[in-house]
Amino acid sequence: MSEKLERFQRYLDQVEQYRQIETQMAWDMQTQTPKKGYGYKIDAITYFSGEEFRITTSEETGKMYEEMSAPEEYDALSDVMKLTVRRGKREYDRNKRIPADFYEEMVRASNISSKVWEEAKQKADYDLFCPHLQKMIDFRRRCMEYMEPEKDIYDTMLDMYEEGMDSATIDRLFSQMKEELVPLFQKIMEKPEPDNRCFTGDYDINSQKELEAYLLSYIGFDKEAGVMGESEHPFTMAFGPGDVRVTNHFSRHAAIDAMFSTIHEGGHAIFEQGINPDYVKTAAVDVGMGLHESQSRFYENILGRNINFWKPVYGKVGEILPQFQKIPLEVFFREINHVRPSFIRTAADELTYCFHIILRYEIEKAIFRDGVNAEELPRLWNDKMEELLGIRPQNAAEGILQDMHWSDGSFGYFPTYLLGTIYDGMFLEAMEKDLGSVDTLLAEGRIAEITAWLHEKIHRHGSMRTAAETLREVCGQEVTAEPIIRYFKKKYAEIYGVDA
Amino acid sequence: MSEKLERFQRYLDQVEQYRQIETQMAWDMQTQTPKKGYGYKIDAITYFSGEEFRITTSEETGKMYEEMSAPEEYDALSDVMKLTVRRGKREYDRNKRIPADFYEEMVRASNISSKVWEEAKQKADYDLFCPHLQKMIDFRRRCMEYMEPEKDIYDTMLDMYEEGMDSATIDRLFSQMKEELVPLFQKIMEKPEPDNRCFTGDYDINSQKELEAYLLSYIGFDKEAGVMGESEHPFTMAFGPGDVRVTNHFSRHAAIDAMFSTIHEGGHAIFEQGINPDYVKTAAVDVGMGLHESQSRFYENILGRNINFWKPVYGKVGEILPQFQKIPLEVFFREINHVRPSFIRTAADELTYCFHIILRYEIEKAIFRDGVNAEELPRLWNDKMEELLGIRPQNAAEGILQDMHWSDGSFGYFPTYLLGTIYDGMFLEAMEKDLGSVDTLLAEGRIAEITAWLHEKIHRHGSMRTAAETLREVCGQEVTAEPIIRYFKKKYAEIYGVDA
C-alpha cells in the first residue's frame, strides 16, 4: 500500500469515528434521552460536528484528495476506493465552494426553522412558519448555486438524494403514474368500502412489541446485528452492517400501523445488514435514498400487503394479539389494502401514497423552477390535493405543515419514496423471472428465498452502483413505471373488481 | 473573567464533551449494543479516549494548570473552581509521572485480563486467570509508585476511590465491625430460619419493570432527568444531574432481587440528580465512591429493609405482582432481612454483606502490604470465608472469581461499599435528631422529607466536601462504626430476638 493511500485510510478511519458518535447521539436523542438531558447532547453534537467539519474541509484534506485523484494513485485503487475518492472529492469540492459564514448561518436558520415548524404544526398556524420556509427556500437555492454553479438548482437537489437522478426523468415517470393511476383510483372510489369496525380495540403495547420482534425475525432481520427501539416517528439507523437499529411507534388503539412500520423499517434494516462488511469506512455504504426506499417499500407493500405473506404467520399474529383471532384473514387483507383519500401521507394506502408524493414533487418544482413563494404554497397544496384526491385540507396541519422535510431544507427528498416504488415494480418482475411466483413463495413461507435474491442482487452491493446501474444490471432496462402500473392494475382488479 | 480563566473553562468544556460521548458509548454498550456491533464501539472508544488522553496530558495543559495554580489567579477563583484546579492539577501531575508506554501496556493488559477473567469465571478455572491477576497486581503496584512515589501503595489506591481515606482508619473501623458483628451473626445462626418457599414463582418481567418505575418515583427519582435500562449487572450512570440512568437485571423466578437493585441504584441516581447543576463541567460532580455508596445503601438498606418503608406501598406491589397479595407484609419483611451465610457478595443480606467486604479488604492488604502472590489467594480467600461465615467455596467461581473488580486492577474499591454502610449509621442518627423517627416518616409515606434532608445535607454539595468533611459537617464527628453497629444490634434483636 502506498504511503498516500495509508494516510487516506487513516483519514477515513478518523471520519468514521466521528460518524459513529454522531449516529450514537442521534439514536439516543430520538429514543431515550430524558427531557432534562437534551442540553448535554446538543452541546456534544455541536462540538464534535464542528470538529468534523474542520477536519473534512481542511486544506490538508483537499490536498489529500488531489493526490488520491492523480492517475498514478487513482488507477491502482480498488473499485471501492475509487468510488470513495471520487465521491469524497466531489463532496469536498462542493463544500469548499460554500462560504463558511453562509454555511453556519444556514445551519442556524434551519435549526430555528425546524423548531418553529414543530410549533406551527401543533397550532396549525402556517403564518408562523411561512417566513422560515421562505428563508429555507432561499438558503437552499443559494447553497445549490455555490455547490454546483453550472447545474440546474432542483436537479442538484434531486441528485443529492439519488445520484444521477434528474427532473426530466421524474417528470416522465410521475406523469405516466398520474395518468394511469388517477383513473384507477376514481374507479375504486365507486366501489363499496370495506367495513373496518372490527379493528377498533385495545391492543396491549408489550404484545405489539412481541409481534414486532416476531415479524422482524420472520422477514430476515438479524437480531445479533441490530436492536429495536421506540420513537415518535419510526426510523432506521445504521452504525454499520453489524448494528442496524429500527424504531417503531405504538398506539393502544391501533395495531396495524405498527405492524407495517415494522415491515417497512425492517426492509431498510435488512438492506443495511446485507451490505458487504468490507465496505465499512468507504463511500460504498452510503446508499442513495431511492434505492433504499425501494427495499423498505418492497417489504412493506409488495410483500407485506400481499395476502400470501400472512398465510404462514397470521395464526401467530392471533396468538400474540388475540383480537385478530376473531378477524378472518380475508377481512384483514381488505383492510391493509383499503384505498381511500386521506390527508396524511404517512397514513395513506399503497395507491394514494403515490399521489401524496406527486403533489410534493410538483410543489418543489413550482418553488425552484417557477419561483413560487412560500406565501402561495398552502393554496397550491390544497388545489393539488383536490385535483388528485378530491379532498381539501381544513387546516395547514393536515395539509402543508404535516411533514418535517421542508422545515430543515430537505427539498428533493420526497420523490425518492415514489422512485423506490417504481423500482419495486421492476424488481418484482425480475424476481419472478428468476424465482417464479412470489405469491407461491410467500404462501409457502419461503420468504428467505426472496430476501436471499434481494441480498444477492441489491443489498450486498451497497452503493457501489447507482440506482440506474442497479436497474440495468438487475432488470436489464432503464427505469420505467410500466411494471408498477401493471402491478397496481392487477392488484386492484382482484381486490376491488375494477377493470383496469 | 481573566483571559487565563476563560481559556481554562474552554478546556473544561472540551474535556466535558469527551466525557459525554464516552459515557454515551459505555451506556449503549452495556444496555443495547447487539453482539455484532461491539467492534464499532470499541474502535470509537479507543480513538476518542486516545484523543482525550493526548489533550489532558499535553504540555499546554500542564502549563495551564501551572498558571491557574499561581496565587494571582487561584486566589480569585470561586471555591468550585479552586477544587477543580486543585484536583485537576493533582491528576495531571500524577498522570505525567506515568511513562506513556508503561500506561499503554497496562491498559492493554487490563483489557486482556478482564476478558480472561470472564472465561475463567465461566469455567470456574482460577489457574487460567492467576497469571493475569498477578500481572494486574504488579502493574497497579508500579503505577501507584509512579503516581505517588512518597506514599504507601495501598493508601494511594484507597485514596483514588475515597479521597483522604487510608488503611489505618479502615483497620480501626473494620476490626470493630468484625469484633461486634461476627458474634451477632453467630447468635442469629442459632435461631430458626424463616420459611421462604412462598416466594418461589413466575414473575412477569413487564410487571417487574412497572414495579421498578413505581418504586423509583416513590423514592424521589425524577423521570424527566433519567431513564431506566437493562443490563447484566445493575448500575447507575450520569451524564449530568439532568440525565441519570439506572439499569436493572430481571429474572422470571425472583422478584425481590430486582426490587432491591431498583432501590439501590435509585439511591445513587437521586444523589446524582441532586447535585447542584452549576457544578457541571467542574470537579465538584465527581463524588467519591464511599459517599456514593452511602446513599445507594441508605435507600436500599436503612430505608428499603425497614418494614415501615413498605407499609404505604405494599398494596401497590401486590397490584403489580399479584403473587405478593398472598404474602403477608411480615413474611416479606422477614425474607428481605433473612440472614444466612452465602458465597456471593451481591446476593448477601445486609449483615453478612459486611463480612464479604472485610474479607476482600484483608486480602488486598495481604497483597500490597505482605506481598502475597496471586497463587496463594484462593486458599486465603477460602480460609477467610470459613473464618467469617463458616462456609467454604467448592470452586473459584463462587469464591475468588466472582467479582470483576480485580480483573482490571480496581484494587482499593471494595472497602468503599462498607465505608458507605458505616457512614449510613452516622447519617441515620443525625437525621433522626433533625426529623424524628425514620420509622414514623416511612410508615406515614413521608419519604420525600427524608430525601429532602439528604439532598440538603449531602446530595446538592456533590464532591465539594470529602466524605470526612461531610461527616464532620452533617454528624458533627469523625467517622465511627458505633452507630451502624448499634443499628444492626437493635434491628436483629427485633427480628431474630437475639440479645445483643
Tell which of A24, A217, A246, A247 to mutate to test the B interface (max B CBs under 10 Å). A24
Q: Which of B148, B180, B212, B265 is catalytic?
A: B265
Identify the band that residue B108 occupies on the pLDDT scale cut at 50, 70 and 90: confident
Q: Give pLDDT, residue A11.
A: 97
Structure-block grid coordinates of residue B286:
465527581
Would the pTM count as exceeding 0.90? yes
Residue in A with minimal Cα distance to B205: A206
Chain A closest CA to B103's CA: distance in Å? Answer: 23
Interface of B with A (CB under 8 A): 13-14, 16-17, 20-21, 24-25, 27-28, 32-37, 39-41, 43-44, 47-48, 206, 222-227, 239-243
Contact call for residues A321 and A214 (beta carbons, < 8 A): no
Inter-chain touch B47–A206, beta carbons under 8 Å:
no
**Res B134: pLDDT:** 98
- Whether the CB-CB separation of B388 and B182 falls below 8 Å is answered with yes
Confidence of residue A103 (pLDDT cuts 50, 70, 90): confident
**Cβ contact (<8 Å) for A34 and B240?**
no
Strand, coil or helix: B488? helix
Facing residue for B43 by CB, picked from A17, A34, A47: A17
User: How close, in Å, is residue B37 to chain A by CA atoms?
Assistant: 5
Percentage with pLDDT > 70 across chain B: 100
B contact test, residue of A239, A246, A279, A320 with most B CBs within 10 A: A239
- On chain A, the residues whose CB falls within 8 A of the CB of B42 are none
pLDDT number for residue B233:
87
Cβ contact, residue pair A14, B48, below 8 Å? no
Chain A positions touching chain B (beta carbons under 8 Å):
13-14, 16-17, 20-21, 24-25, 27-28, 32-37, 39-41, 43-44, 47-48, 206, 222-227, 229, 239-243
CA distance A459 to A240: 13
Question: Which of B14, B44, B243 is the closest to A33 by Cβ?
Answer: B243
Residue A245 CB neighbours (<10 A): 25
- Which among A216, A212, A280, A31 is positioned nearest to B32, based on CA atoms? A31
Residue A194 is given by DSSP the state: P
User: B329 pLDDT exceeds 80?
Assistant: yes
Q: Residues B352-389: pLDDT tens digits?
A: 999 999 999 999 999 999 999 999 999 999 999 999 99
pLDDT over 90 at B494, yes or no: yes
Mutate which of B28, B244, B280 to disrupt the A interface (most A C-beta within 10 Å)? B28
Pick from B40, B43, B225: CB nearest A37? B225
pLDDT digits (tens, 9 = 90+) for A310-321: 999 999 999 999
Look at residue B447 and tell me whether its pLDDT is greater than 90.
yes
Question: Has A145 been annotated as catalytic?
Answer: no
Residue contact B226–A34, C-beta within 8 A: yes
Task: Name, in order, each residue with C-beta under 8 angstroms of A229's C-beta and a sequence gap of 6 or more.
Answer: A27, A31, A32, A245, A246, A247, A248, B32
- Residue among A33, A35, A242 whose CB faces B40 most closely: A242
Amino acid letter, residue B71: P
Q: Could you tell me how far CA A267 lies from the centroid of its own chain? A: 11
Average pLDDT over residues A128-146: 97
pLDDT of residue B232: 83
Length of chain B: 500
Closest Cα in chain A to B35? A224
Grid cell digits, residue B428: 441515620
Proportion of chain A above pLDDT 90, given as a percent: 92
Higher pLDDT, B225 or B96: B225
Q: Which residues of B touch A21 (CB under 8 A)?
A: 21, 24-25, 44, 48
| Nearest CB neighbour to A43, from listed B17, B33, B44 | B17
| Tens-place pLDDT, residues A10-47 | 999 999 999 999 999 999 998 999 999 999 998 998 89
Chain-wide mean pLDDT for chain A? 96
B44 min Cα distance to partner chain A (Å): 5
- Binary contact (A24, B20; C-beta < 8 A): no
d(CA B262, CA B300): 8
Render pLDDT for A427-483 as a digit per residue (tens, 0 to 9). Answer: 999 999 999 999 999 999 999 999 999 999 999 999 999 999 999 999 999 999 999
Per the DSSP assignment, residues forming a β-bridge with A383 are none
Residue contact A24–B28, C-beta within 8 A:
yes
Task: Verify whether the Cβ–Cβ distance A28 to B25 is below 8 Å.
Answer: no
Of residues B346 and B294, more confidently modeled: B294
Beta bridge partners of A254: A251
Q: What pLDDT does A500 receive?
A: 64
B500 — pLDDT class (breaks 50, 70, 90)? low
CA gap A13, B41 in Å, rounded: 13
Q: Enter the C-alpha cell of residue B290.
A: 464511599
Q: Which among B13, B39, B225 has the least Cβ separation from residue A242?
A: B39
pLDDT computed for residue B1 by the predictor: 80
Residue A227: list chain B partners with CB under 8 A: 32-34
Verify whether the Cβ–Cβ distance A37 to B222 is below 8 Å.
Answer: no
How confident is the model over B209-227, as a mean pLDDT?
98
User: What does the pLDDT look like over A183-215, one tens digit per residue?
Assistant: 999 999 999 999 999 999 999 999 999 999 999
Looking at chain B, the whole-number percentage of residues with pLDDT higher than 90 is 93
Q: Can you give the pLDDT at residue B161?
A: 96
Tell me how close the Cα of B40 comes to any Cα of chain A, in angstroms: 7
The predicted pLDDT at position B286 comes to: 94
Contacts of B30 in chain A (CB under 8 A): none
| Rounded-to-integer distance, Cα B493 and Cα B500, Å | 7
pLDDT, tens digit, for every residue of A224-272? 999 999 998 899 999 999 999 999 999 999 999 999 999 999 999 999 9
φ, ψ (nearest 5 deg) of residue B349: -75, 170
- Among the listed residues A162, A212, A265, A272, the single catalytic one is A265
CA dihedral A131, A134, A138, A141 (to 10 degrees): 160
Per-residue pLDDT at B335: 97
CB B60: neighbour CB atoms within 10 A?
Answer: 9
pLDDT number for residue B256: 96
Provide the H-helix boundaries in B285-402: 289-297, 307-310, 314-320, 329-336, 350-368, 377-389
Long-range contacts of A153-160 (CB under 8 A, 24+ apart): A153/A368, A154/A364, A154/A365, A154/A368, A154/A369, A154/A411, A154/A412, A157/A364, A157/A368, A157/A411, A157/A412, A158/A412, A158/A415, A159/A412, A160/A412
Q: Which amino acid appears at position A384 of this protein? A: K
Best of B12, B17, B29 to substitute, by most chain A Cβ atoms within 10 angstroms, is B17
Give residue A132's pLDDT.
97
C-alpha dihedral sign at B56, B62, B67, B71: positive
Please state the ipTM of this predicted complex: 0.92
Task: Label residue B73 exposed, middle or buried (CB < 10 Å: 0-12, 13-18, 19+).
Answer: middle
The answer to whether the CB atoms of B40 and A222 lie below 8 A apart is no
Q: Determine the residue among A21, A30, A217 to mutate to test chain B binding: the one whose Cβ has the most chain B Cβ atoms within 10 Å.
A: A21
